[in-house]
Structure 1
Amino acid sequence: MNIALLFPGQGSQSVGMGRELYRAYPRVRETFDECSDLCGMDLAKLCFKGPRTELNATEYTQPALFTLSLAVHRVLTEYAVTPHWVAGHSLGEITAMAAVGCMDLAAGFSLVRERGRLMAEVLAGKGSTMAAIEGVSPEVIENWLAELDDSAWIANYNAPTQTILSGTRAALNRLTEPVRVANGKLMFLPVSGAFHSPLLASAADAFARLVEDMPLQNPVCPVIGNVTAMPLTTEADIRAELRAQMCATVRWSESMDWLCATDVELFIEVGHGKMLKGLLLRNVRDAHCFITETPRDIDTLLRHLEEA
Structure 2
Amino acid sequence: MTVMLGYLFPGQGTVRVGMGAWLRRRPAARDRLDEVDALLSRPISPLCARGPLDRLVATEHAQVAVTACNLAALAVLAEEGFEPCVVAGHSVGELSALHAAGVLDLADTVRLVEARSRLMAEVGVTGGMHAVMGLPVQEVEELAAEAGTGDEPLVVGLENAPGHVVVSGALPALGRLAAIATGARKIVPLQVGNAFHSPLMAAAVPGWARAVRAAPMRPPRVPVVPNVTGEPTTDLDTIKEALVAQLTGRVLWTGTVTAVDQIAPSVEVGDSKVLAGLSRRAGARCLTMADPATLRRLSRERAA
TM over 0.5: yes
RMSD (CA atoms): 1.5
- The answer to whether structure 1 residue 22 and structure 2 residue 10 are counterparts is no
Q: In structure 1, how many angstroms separate the alpha carbons of the residues matched to 2:41 and 2:208?
A: 22
Q: Decide whether the 8 Å contact of 1:290 with 1:301 is kept in 2.
A: no
Give the Cα–Cα distance (whole angstroms) in 2 for the partners of residues 183 and 234 of structure 1. Answer: 39
Deviations 1:260-280 (A, max 9, x none): 334x2x210000111101110
Deviations 1:109-159 (A, max 9, x none): 00000100110110x243x10000000111111111222224101110111
User: In 2, distance between residues paired with 1:157 and 1:60?
Assistant: 24
Deviation at 1:103, TM superposition (A): 0.9
Could you tell me which residue of structure 1 aligns to residue 11 of structure 2? 9
Distance 1:49 1:168, change over 3 A: same
Match of 1:131 in 2: 130
Aligned pairs, number: 299
> Is 2:33 aligned against 1:32?
yes
- Name the counterpart of 1:175: 177
- Aligned residue in 1 for 2:162: 160
Structure 2 counterpart of 1:306: 302
Which residues of structure 2 form unaligned runs of 5+?
A: none
Alpha-carbon offset, residue 302 of structure 1: 3.4
Q: Give the TM-score, by structure 2 length.
A: 0.94
Amino acid at match of 1:15: V
Distance 1:42 1:239 in 2: 27
13-22 or 109-118, which moves further after superposition?
Answer: 13-22
Match of residue 266 from structure 2 = 267
Which stretch has the larger CA shift, 134-143 or 37-46?
Answer: 37-46
* Deviation at residue 307 of structure 1 after TM alignment: 5.0
Question: CA offset at residue 91 of structure 1?
Answer: 0.4
State the one-letter code of the partner of 2:103. Answer: C
Q: Contact 2:156–2:166 at 8 Å: present in 1 too?
A: yes
Q: What is the rounded CA distance, in whole Å, between the counterparts of 1:9 and 1:74 in structure 2?
A: 18
- Equivalent residues of 2:57, 2:192 under 8 A apart: yes
Q: Any idea what SS the aligned residue of 2:251 has?
A: coil
1:267 corresponds to which letter in structure 2?
S
Distance 1:156 1:125 in 2: 19
Q: Distance in 2 between matches of 1:183 and 1:26?
A: 45
Aligned identity (percent) is: 37
**Contact 1:131/1:187 (CA < 8 Å) preserved in 2?**
yes
In 1, distance between residues paired with 2:144 and 2:119?
27
* Residue 102 of structure 1: aligned partner: 103
Shift in CA distance, 215/130, structure 1 to aligned 2, threshold 3 Å:
same
Matches within 5 A, 1:40-189: 40-122=41-123, 124-126=124-126, 128-147=127-146, 148-150=148-150, 151-179=153-181, 181-189=182-190
Distance change >3 Å, CA 215–CA 303, structure 1 → 2: closer
Report if the CA contact (8 A) 2:261-2:285 is conserved.
no
2:286 partner letter:
C
TM-score normalized with structure 1 length: 0.92
The amino acid of 2:301's aligned partner reads L
Query: Any idea what SS the aligned residue of 2:30 has?
Result: helix
- In the aligned structure 1, how far is the partner of 2:293 from the partner of 2:122? 37
